[in-house]
A and B are shown apart, each in its own frame.
Chain A
Amino acid sequence: MHIEVSGLNKKFGEFQAVKDVNFEIEKGQLIGLLGPSGGGKTSILRMLAGLESVDEGEILFHGKRVNDLPPQERGIGFVFQNYALFKHMTVEGNIAFGLEVKKWSKEKIKARVAELVELTGLSGFEKRYPHQLSGGQRQRVAFARALAPEPQLLLLDEPFAAIDAKIRHELRSWLRDMIDRLGITSIFVTHDQDEAIEVADQIMIINKGRLEQKGSPWEIYKNPQSPFVASFIGESTIVDDVSSLLGFGEAAAWPGTKALIRPEYVEVGKPSDFELLSATAKGRVRHVHFRGSEWLVEVELGAARLVTYRSLEKEILHPGDEVQVLIHRAYLFNDNDSWVMENKLKEDPMPVHI
């Protein structure tokens, strides 16, 4: 389903939950609404579903305005955060519900339920009640139930929030595969950036009711258009005085500009580790944390404190060690503007030709 939203606004009392949101979604895409809790993601989802009224703006499905269409008539599948399975019905009953209220014939319902049970890997659990299932199974029932009436759009509200970390990973890729296979347009809400990056074709970053940026995960990572997006995606530290960092002296031309530096922009090591020693500054290791698959190193560089990763294969650093620090790039921003700046000293100042 092709979706177009323009000038969307929603207030709950005095609280502006959604502010002037515009976007367009192509058929078949998997979209992640990402943002901090209470930022308005769920409100947008619920307005698309028709569970919340629209104060201002338009929602168009296939170019047709659906603002006043009740949820029953929108043809949308919705997976709720806590699944909201019908407790007094079996797995089969839950999946069949949407078909029964649509007055499908008995044989068609039976066939469709069997198909979905098969698809979601719930064979053998048809007669169980929701409280007899594990979290992951319940999630799959909710998914099957939402898909049963063949919706054109699938909305998922924090679909993995109530599942423990290990199974969450499996379910994510399962969901991704499933949606790919069915080719159904889907929008899911999450506050977990890993989840959005891993699953979504396109991410929409929502903060304080506004759509901050829309794009593929890579685009958003590479080219954040606002300081909020830059700090929300990936890990980072903010440095107030950028011009003091080696290689970023030119930043002094823009007073009041701060830098956001990601761990992967920073390299630490012994002088022999670097080809261009002139681009590195001396720093001191403050802390090292073991992260399971790598070291997280906190390093002090003048007044600034930076964070970086270090491979487990390399020599182990200890707090107090003196190291060379190379900053590849920084994301600079001030009140009006934001841009990415490369380390000027990395371009060899005196190329030697032999």
Chain B
Amino acid sequence: MSSMLQGRWWSWGFRSAVMLYFMVLIIFPILGIYGQSLSSGWSDFASNITEPLAWKAVLLTIRMALIATVVNILVGTMSAWVLIRYRFPGRRLLNSLVDLPFALPTAVAGLMILLLLGPRSFVGQLSEKLGFTILFHQPAIIIAMVFVTFPFVIRAVQPLLEEMDAAEEEAAYMLGATKAATFWRVILPNMLPGILSGAMLAFSRALAEFGAVVLVAGNIPGKTLIASVYIFGEIESDNTVGATAVSVLLLTFSFLILWTVNYVQMRRKGG
């Protein structure tokens, strides 16, 4: 009886500790931002949010993040495929390098892009000849976002591909399906949940990126100023409410994405 009581106390203690941790670390700050954004009233919030530069920053961020996500879906799925399905020297090294963008400080990533794609670099000069500039323009933002979100899709697709029964593919062949039909109708549907959840995570991470982008984007308001850099600027110029208003927008967006990811995964487990 006493041990049962003890067990109950333990479980109650653990649960409360975890709840408290969540509260202090995540829920309070979020509520704080929502509260702060409305601290000077609805009209102030509305004017901050309808400020054209703020809007443009948010829209630009979403647009850039979407493009980066599409790139990641294509390249990430292909990379996962190659890393799982092909055997070649250096495969293991490549596979471990995938996580590098997670481990690297994003500012270092920004610096790498700065040096690699700058006007004096080979790539920079080449693009100059072709008639467009990468650095301090939108392509640089996309490249920075793609770099930092690169692992998400790969890491989400890999386990699904690995888990997939090779016989499922062979079954399709035996039933007369060509390689292409087998890919579209059997392999891709198997990878799809991974592609989707990886893409969602990559997208929300790209929305939030600061360190890498701030170094390479040029941060011209209305042109290459993304939301996180805008928030930073507002704080620097002491407009906390303006900063929180944009933050609320991003936060709400991220929540929606997170919820969708969870929903997709739940459905995968259930069905």
Q: Is the interface of B mostly helix, strand, loop or mixed?
A: helix
Q: Name the distance in Å between B4's Cβ and chain A's nearest Cβ.
A: 37
B131 within 8 A of A: no
Q: Are A98 and B176 in contact (CB under 8 A)?
A: yes
Q: Which of A71, A72, A81 has the most CB of B within 10 A?
A: A72
Residue in contact with A77 in the complex, picked from B174, B181, B190, CB distance below 8 Å: B174
Residue in contact with B173 in the complex, picked from A72, A85, A86, CB distance below 8 Å: A72
Per-residue interface assignment for chain B, residues 171 to 190, with 1 indicating a CB less than 8 Å from any chain A CB and 0 otherwise: 11111111001000110011
Q: Are B176 and A102 in contact (CB under 8 A)?
A: yes
A80 within 8 A of B: yes
Q: How far apart sit A246 and B249, CA to CA, in the bound complex (Å)?
A: 97
Chain A residues 59 to 82 lying within 8 A of chain B, measured CB to CB, are 70-73, 76-78, 80-82
Q: Are B171 and A84 in contact (CB under 8 A)?
A: yes
B271 within 8 A of A: yes
Our count of residue pairs bridging A and B at CB distance below 8 angstroms stands at 64
A49 within 8 A of B: yes
Residues of chain B with a CB closer than 8 A to A145's CB: 171, 175
Q: Are A97 and B167 in contact (CB under 8 A)?
A: no
B170 within 8 A of A: yes
A87 within 8 A of B: yes
Residue in contact with A129 in the complex, picked from B168, B178, B271, CB distance below 8 Å: B271
B165 within 8 A of A: yes
Q: Name the distance in Å between A244's Cβ and chain B's nearest Cβ.
A: 52
- Known interface pairs A71-B170, A87-B190, A97-B185. Does A82 touch B165 (Cβ–Cβ under 8 Å)? yes
Q: Are B176 and A88 in contact (CB under 8 A)?
A: no
Q: Are A80 and B171 in contact (CB under 8 A)?
A: yes
Interface size class of B (residues with CB under 8 A): 10 to 19
A252 within 8 A of B: no
Residues of chain A with a CB closer than 8 A to B172's CB: 86, 97, 101
Q: Are B177 and A97 in contact (CB under 8 A)?
A: yes
Residues of chain B with a CB closer than 8 A to A162's CB: none
Q: Are A51 and B170 in contact (CB under 8 A)?
A: yes
Q: Name the distance in Å between A53's Cβ and chain B's nearest Cβ.
A: 14
Q: Are B175 and A88 in contact (CB under 8 A)?
A: no
- Known interface pairs A84-B168, A97-B185. Does A71 touch B190 (Cβ–Cβ under 8 Å)? no
Residue in contact with A101 in the complex, picked from B165, B177, B190, CB distance below 8 Å: B177
Q: How far apart sit A348 and B173, CA to CA, in the bound complex (Å)?
A: 65
Residues of chain B with a CB closer than 8 A to A77's CB: 174
A35 within 8 A of B: no
Closest residue of B by beta carbon distance from A145: B175
Interface size class of A (residues with CB under 8 A): 20 to 34
Q: Are A146 and B167 in contact (CB under 8 A)?
A: no
A149 within 8 A of B: yes
Q: Are B190 and A88 in contact (CB under 8 A)?
A: yes
Q: How far apart sit A77 and B178, CA to CA, in the bound complex (Å)?
A: 16
Q: Are B189 and A88 in contact (CB under 8 A)?
A: yes
Residues of chain A with a CB closer than 8 A to B170's CB: 51, 71, 78, 80, 84
Residues of chain A with a CB closer than 8 A to B178's CB: 72, 101
- Known interface pairs A97-B172, A97-B185. Does A82 touch B177 (Cβ–Cβ under 8 Å)? no
Q: Which of B167, B168, B174, B186 has the most CB of A within 10 A?
A: B174
Per-residue interface assignment for chain B, residues 137 to 156, with 1 indicating a CB less than 8 Å from any chain A CB and 0 otherwise: 00000000000000000000
Closest residue of A by beta carbon distance from B271: A129
Closest residue of A by beta carbon distance from B164: A87
Q: Name the distance in Å between B195's Cβ and chain A's nearest Cβ.
A: 13
Q: Name the distance in Å between A121's Cβ and chain B's nearest Cβ.
A: 21
Q: How far apart sit A74 and B201, CA to CA, in the bound complex (Å)?
A: 44
Q: Name the distance in Å between B31's Cβ and chain A's nearest Cβ.
A: 40
Closest residue of B by beta carbon distance from A81: B167
Q: Which of B171, B176, B181 has the most CB of A within 10 A?
A: B176
Q: How far apart sit A98 and B185, CA to CA, in the bound complex (Å)?
A: 11
Residue in contact with B176 in the complex, picked from A49, A51, A72, A87, CB distance below 8 Å: A72
- Known interface pairs A88-B189, A97-B185, A101-B181. Does A149 touch B175 (Cβ–Cβ under 8 Å)? yes
Q: How far apart sit A145 and B175, CA to CA, in the bound complex (Å)?
A: 8
Residues of chain A with a CB closer than 8 A to B271's CB: 129
Q: How far apart sit A78 and B169, CA to CA, in the bound complex (Å)?
A: 12
Residues of chain B with a CB closer than 8 A to A88's CB: 189-190
Residues of chain A with a CB closer than 8 A to B173's CB: 51, 70-72
Residues of chain A with a CB closer than 8 A to B171's CB: 78, 80, 84-86, 145
Q: Are B168 and A86 in contact (CB under 8 A)?
A: yes
Q: Are A149 and B167 in contact (CB under 8 A)?
A: no
Q: Are B186 and A76 in contact (CB under 8 A)?
A: no
Residues of chain B with a CB closer than 8 A to A146's CB: 174-175
Q: How far apart sit A181 and B61, CA to CA, in the bound complex (Å)?
A: 65
Residues of chain B with a CB closer than 8 A to A85's CB: 168, 171
What are 11 sample pairs from A and B whose C-beta atoms fall under 8 A apart?
A51-B174, A71-B173, A71-B174, A72-B176, A72-B177, A77-B174, A80-B170, A84-B165, A84-B171, A98-B177, A148-B175
10 new A-B contacts at CB < 8 Å, known A71-B170, A86-B189: A49-B174, A51-B170, A51-B173, A78-B170, A80-B171, A84-B170, A97-B185, A101-B175, A101-B181, A146-B174
Q: Which 7 A-B pairs have the closest CB atoms?
A: A98-B175, A84-B167, A78-B174, A101-B177, A84-B171, A80-B167, A88-B189
